[in-house]
Homo-oligomer: A and B are copies of this chain.
Amino acid sequence: MSALFERVALIGVGLIGSSLARVLRRDHTATRIAACARSAQTLDAVRRLGLADETTDDPAAAAKGADLVVIATPLSAYAEIGRKIAPALRPGAIVTDVGSVKGVVIRDLAPLVPAGVHFVPGHPVAGTEHSGPEAGFAELFRDRWCILTPLPDTDPEAVAKVTALWESAGMRVATMAADHHDKVLAVTSHLPHLIAYTIVGTATDLGHDLESEVVAYSAGGFRDFTRIAASDPVMWRDIFLANREAVLELLQRFSEDLTALQRAIRRGEGDTLHQYFAHTRAIRRSIIEAKQA
């Protein structure tokens, strides 16, 4: 059996990139991996962990001759990477990415992809609060969803190959329009992270006296927020700026709902609170049934 890809260039080797490298190492042993990272420390770790056959800090050198290029950096680096790799891409190569926002990726990258190269924007919806190549593991993707947002004129065969890659990592793969992806992820991921960052910040600012107590008694709910709010700050800065409109619109709805609950608390309207709280229990059951809990 021939390899799905002969040479994969990983541009960015953080949690997602290094987890994908581990999947390739485990299941695609004939595939050659070229890893690109900006920092010498990351490249050292990649070599030490044996995650790549070649390491470089030059995206073009990694992309040269690759039949698959996976961009797995924070979103703000995409445009520069796109400009650098464009001249090195060979005809028939596939460029994909793992970014959490898709509209802006298409806007930034699509114009830079040369004719004859296939662009398949993607988003494996998986992660932990840890970052960097040491944090990755091949099982990260197991039973999670990967969303691909191909453009109307994207070659279906290229989409099928990227699909096969993520399926080999244990993912279920869905395809949708980029703007729809961005709206759905604003709900399921971006707003939850913004809220978690906010509440942990609010608690931290209450002052040093309270801090040790907040830590000690965090099992009452707060610790789950601190886990989410420990996610990579650069990655999340980029996500909020890149999905600004969908996040702001949703934030508006959230604020209205919170204000309604705030008023119910102030006025002592127990029935309103109970009705709201009982309502939210059902969606948990759906998530458990969908095996995403």
Residues of A within 8 A of B (CB): 76, 100, 125-127, 129, 144-145, 147, 174, 183-185, 187-206, 210-231, 233-234, 236-238, 240-241, 244, 247-248, 250-251, 253-255, 257-258, 261-262, 265-266, 268, 270, 273-274, 276-287, 290, 292-293
Contacts and interface: CB of A to CB of B under 8 A. Distances in A.
B188 A221 contact: yes
A270 to B, nearest CB: 5
B261 A198 contact: yes
Contact of A222 (B187, B213, B222): B187
B202 A254 contact: yes
Contacts of A199: 191-192, 195, 254
Given A76-B270, A202-B254, A204-B283, 11 more contacts: A100-B220, A187-B203, A188-B203, A189-B217, A192-B221, A198-B261, A201-B276, A223-B293, A224-B228, A226-B284, A229-B281
Shortest 5 CB-CB contacts between residues of A and residues of B:
A189-B220, A233-B277, A192-B221, A230-B284, A200-B280
Contact of A248 (B217, B262, B284): B262
Contacts of A76: 270
B204 A280 contact: yes
A143 to B, nearest CB: 9
A214 B262 contact: no
Nearest to A262: B251
A103 to B, nearest CB: 15
A29 to B, nearest CB: 28
16 contacts: A184-B210, A187-B206, A187-B214, A188-B218, A188-B220, A188-B222, A193-B221, A204-B279, A205-B257, A211-B283, A212-B286, A215-B286, A223-B287, A227-B293, A237-B277, A241-B265
A215 B292 contact: yes
